[in-house]
A and B are shown apart, each in its own frame.
Chain A
Amino acid sequence: MVTVSGVSKYFGNIKALRRVSFQVEEGELFGVIGPDGAGKSTLFRIILSLLLPDEGEVCLWGKSPVADYKAIRRMVGYMPGKFSLYEDLTVEENLNFFAAVFGTTIKENYHLIKDIYRQIEPFKKRRAGKLSGGMKQKLALSCALIHKPKLLVLDEPTTGVDAVSRSDFWEMLQKLKNAGITVLVSTPYMDEASLCDRVALIQKGHILEISTPDAVTQGFGKQLFGVAGENMYKLLLHCRKFYRVESVYPFGEELHLTFHGGGDWREELIRYLYENGLANVRIRPIKPNIEDRFMSLMSITEKENG
């Protein structure tokens, strides 16, 4: 079980983390979701004992990364965002090396990495630097798992990976979770949040919300509409001007829009837009997703913080 309580970290004047607290349960797949620069990597580095917090405490199964960093390092497996294995060693040598420094062997924990490693095993004599992106990722995951960690920490593992490999990767994470490993993963992709058991939304070092993905979207609490038309930019500007509109964001091919008080003022909006020269506007009720929730939470905290 991982407990983070009141952790703050400053880099000069920049507050990278501000009193961050959350708990990850045993065997949970926990996602930390937030844009670049939100403080995800800093948070992970503190949990991993690579960085000291300025305030607050972290506790992993009763051990502190500050006091018991030696114990922590046997418990955690880490896959940094940037590929950081030895590119001049072969696939097999990398895996052997990381097994060896943890005092174990590939054989001993082969069952844990079997599904992943099997896919790169045909290339085991190849230098790691010559692998494709997807294969590098699989090797890095294998190396992070080879000592059978209790907690697997993955920092943006799917950034810069194609869509197919991304869904493959999440499947692997599910399997690891089923094998009893607690997984802490960060991602800037909101759509991946729904694949986690619980998520923490983080922005500018603040945790905005911690909940299950469903509860997060339900927390949106208002009727959301998707608006589409011909001139999207003009549409956005006019929607913003309409007095009953509370929020409107461009979102792919539609605008995501809410009215004040969560009401339904579609007809009035269409009429208003028509008067302003925007015909053929389609509005449909839609279900909010995590990003909608993220945006609304962000605007609330920004108002609160002035």
Chain B
Amino acid sequence: MRILFYLLQKEFIQIYRNKTILRLIFVIPVVQLLILVNAATLEMRKQQLSVVDEDHSPWSKRLISVLDASPFFVVGKNDENVLSAKKKIEKGEIDFLLVIPQGFESSLMSNEQVKIQLLANAINSQQAQLGYAYLQQVIAGLSQSFVKETYGVLPQAGIVTTFSYWYNPELNYKHFMVPGILVVLVSVVGMFLTAMNLVREKEMGTIEQINVTPVRKWQFIVAKLLPFLLIGLFELALGLTIGKLIYQIPIEGSLWLVFAIATLYLTGLLGLGLLLSTISSSQQQVTFVSFFFLLVFILMSGIFTSVDNMPEWGQKLNLLNPLYYFIDLMRAILLKGAGLSDLWKQVTGISVLAVFLFGLAVLNYRKTI
């Protein structure tokens, strides 16, 4: 145990001396949370909407004013001409174009089917979908008001869709992003720093000197991994604090559970870092290899896109992605207040991965160095 203490002491001195790493540890969480959460938002706000109103009726004006009043759309100057408005979409000046045809109000009055046209710039398909859904909602509301105002009663027949957003009632994407960004943060520290630190011993040749001392391999591994496990948990705490203070993210579930799962997760990821360091011989190599893994993990994890929209093989592949489990768990615990009994599936997944990666890394480490 005393040897372990001296090894840990040495590691912490070295980390403390490495000013670049030290700065990164403090700067990364702040930058990621301040910039990324805002920049990587999926929120739909202030979309440029143009309306070609060919009807010029009180009800068409009412529709426009309802849209204008919403936070989603900014209604620009009315265009007279559909063609010129379409050009604006092509140029990217507007995101949506609404065409209200002549006879809109009279169709409404005579109980005929009402047709309006929405054109969306669907380069950002998610945005287009959301805009479309929102417009449908507005029109449904409008038609209800119309029935009510004209006949004095609510329509008897017909299905009325109502929306209610659970766990994130304001559809605040920051609440959705913060847990994800936190996971990325912890992963960068866990994987990159561990792998680089270990390879450095190889690169500098210091591992040779350690290998002729009575230091056992497990002691060496523990001394290498423990500091980064602690730093990872510290980053998580720092990130949660920033998230709470700046973005008021809800923390519905147990923080103990969050940190327990983070410890499990980091064990697996540190194991992966260790594994990559055993197969690399320079810091440059290990950086590239870790970058590759992390990039795949992040993009598949569901941090930006919904995993349910992925093809089936992608979803199956995600069962091997530690980030996927951790992001899912973080969102469930923080936003939904889920407990261990709700999450046993993900927790099992993350545990299996952690044991597998760590075990493989240790076995491989024993063989190679």
Binding site for B on A (CB under 8 A): 48-50, 70, 73-74, 76, 78, 80, 82-89, 93, 97-98, 100-103, 143
Contact = CB atoms under 8 A, between A and B. Distances in A.
Contacts of B205: 80, 82-84
Interface in B173-231: 204-215
Q: What secondary structure prevails in chain B residues at the interface with A?
A: helix
14 contacts: A76-B212, A78-B208, A82-B205, A83-B205, A84-B204, A84-B205, A84-B207, A84-B208, A84-B209, A88-B14, A88-B18, A101-B213, A102-B214, A103-B2
B10 A50 contact: no
B2 A78 contact: no
A103 B213 CA distance: 10
B316 interface: no
A41 to B, nearest CB: 10
Contacts of A143: 209
A87 B212 contact: no
Nearest to A155: B208
Contact of B214 (A50, A70, A85, A93): A70
Contacts of B214: 70, 73-74, 101-103
B123 interface: no
Most chain A CB atoms below 10 A, which of B10, B13, B207, B212 = B212
B367 to A, nearest CB: 12
Contacts of B210: 101
B361 to A, nearest CB: 21
B7 interface: yes
Contacts of B207: 84
A87 B14 CA distance: 10
B3 interface: yes
Given A84-B204, A86-B206, A49 B13 contact: no
Given A101-B6, A102-B213, 17 more contacts: A49-B212, A50-B212, A78-B208, A84-B208, A84-B209, A85-B209, A89-B10, A89-B13, A89-B14, A98-B213, A100-B3, A101-B3, A101-B7, A101-B210, A103-B2, A103-B3, A103-B214
Interface of B: 2-3, 6-7, 10, 13-14, 17-18, 204-215
B3 A78 contact: no
Contacts of A97: 6, 10
A180 to B, nearest CB: 20
Contacts of A70: 214
Contact of B14 (A74, A76, A82, A86): A86
A226 B6 CA distance: 59
A25 to B, nearest CB: 22
Nearest to A87: B204
A230 B214 CA distance: 59
Contacts of B209: 78, 80, 84-85, 98, 143
B369 to A, nearest CB: 10
Nearest to A99: B6
